[in-house]
Structure 1
Amino acid sequence: MPILWLVIVGAAAGFLATRLMRLETGIVETVAIGMAGAVIGGLVLRFLLTVGSLVGGLVGAVLGAMLLIWIWRRIRGG
């Protein structure tokens, strides 16, 4: 089923991409372009989400540490 889904999504993506880029290709080339684009786009998106989550995790950790320091200063009275 995943292969069939990749072909269907690839065909749709390839069709849209070739029309937006004004490229005349056959059916096989259109599907291949769409499938390759889906793989490349998925990898790029996964990379960006990973980097984004790492940065988000760092920001959250820094904010949590700042909150802990603020609480610590309130408890100690300093």
Structure 2
Amino acid sequence: MSIIWFLLLGALAGWLAANLMQGRGFGFLGNMAVGVVGAVLGGFLFRMVGVHGGGMMGSLVTAVVGAIVLLFLVGLIKRN
């Protein structure tokens, strides 16, 4: 059951990040992938600076921040 929550959280994080980045989304499955990868990236980045959030809201914030960073990096790569 936790994998379903992880994927739903990833989908929500990807959707939020795409909306915050002015429509840089990739559809439902693409946003889910961005959110899941963003969750991993956000967790890594937050650990590097010594920040950790607990619970569902902390996980969502971590995933959204990671997804925003990921979308920003993808945007930089696409421009070149």
Structure 2 length normalisation: TM-score?
A: 0.55
Higher relative contact order (CA 8 A, sep 6+): 2
Question: Does residue 3 of the first structure (1) align with residue 7 of the second (2)?
Answer: no
Q: Which runs of 5+ in 1 are unaligned?
A: 51-78
Q: Which residue of 2 aligns with 1:67?
A: none
Q: Report the structure, 1 or 2, having the larger helix content.
A: 1
Distance (Å, rounded) in 2 between the aligned partners of 1:35 and 1:10 = 5
Question: Does residue 32 of the first structure (1) align with residue 29 of the second (2)?
Answer: no
Distance (Å, rounded) in 1 between the aligned partners of 2:40 and 2:8 = 13
Distance (Å, rounded) in 1 between the aligned partners of 2:7 and 2:34 = 11
Q: Which residue of 2 aligns with 1:16?
A: 16
Structure 1 length normalisation: TM-score?
A: 0.56
Distance (Å, rounded) in 2 between the aligned partners of 1:4 and 1:13 = 14
User: What is the identity percentage for the equivalent residue pairs of Structure 1 and Structure 2?
Assistant: 40
Largest Rg, 1 or 2: 1
Q: Across the two proteins, how many residue pairs are aligned to each other?
A: 50
Moved over 2 A (4+): none
Q: Which runs of 5+ in 2 are unaligned?
A: 52-80
